Amino acid sequence: MPRALRNYPPGTCLHVIQRGDDRCVIFHDERERLHYLQLLSEYRIVHKCDIHAYVLMSNHVHLLLTLHERNGQARLMKDLSQSTSTWMHRRHGTSGTMWDGRYHASQIDTESYLLKCQRYIELNPVRAGMADFPGGYRWSSYRANAEGRTDVILTPHALYDSLGVDAVGRCMAYQRLFDVPLAERDLLKIRFALRNDFALKP
């Protein structure tokens, strides 16, 4: 089956994943993760993408974002991939392909699935056995969204803002969402949509 055309208008919310080539490790230490986050912070502004959630795993990256220019995610991911590869190769004295050739993106039905996808992203380290709870993993947006820590990369989505009347209330309400595990049906649906570049809808 051919992949869906990726032609997303402004206002589209996307769950994006990019993996290392052949699922190889892409982040070896703290400095490399910090560099990636610095680039993400810069390019989100250049390409007008609001970042709502992220996680940097060892061999892949998840982003939840909203576009303000048509197909801004394509330019964002291109610049992130190229800049990261150039910096990493210079640092390690290597060459060749660093990233899998194609990022995957799933359009999100914001009313039904945005906060589920946000939780899915921030729970990645727990599912991978890298942390006992999402706040125990430094390289994600959980500490900002659930604990109120400052993260200049993030722009809260309107649905997140609707969780409470102030920052404390929103954080507490967001934490409570994690008290209920994501349903297996939702996990499978999110993964299938992302793997096949399908829209995620009820």
Q: Where are the domains positioned within the chain?
A: 13-196
Query: Which pLDDT band holds residue 4 (cuts at 50, 70, 90)?
Result: very low
pLDDT at 14: 97
Report whether pLDDT(66) > 80: yes
Q: Distance of CA 199 to CAs 53, 150, 189, Å?
A: 18, 31, 10
| Entry pTM | 0.94
Rounded Cα distance between 189 and 137, Å, is 25
Fold of 13-196: Alpha-Beta Plaits (3.30.70)
Listed in sequence order, the residues at least 6 apart from 41 whose beta carbon sits closer than 8 Å to its beta carbon are 152, 153
Render pLDDT for 164-177 as a digit per residue (tens, 0 to 9).
999 999 999 999 99
Residue type, 182: L
pLDDT band at 1 (very low <50, low <70, confident <90, very high): very low
* Model confidence pLDDT, tens digit, residues 76-88: 999 999 999 898 8
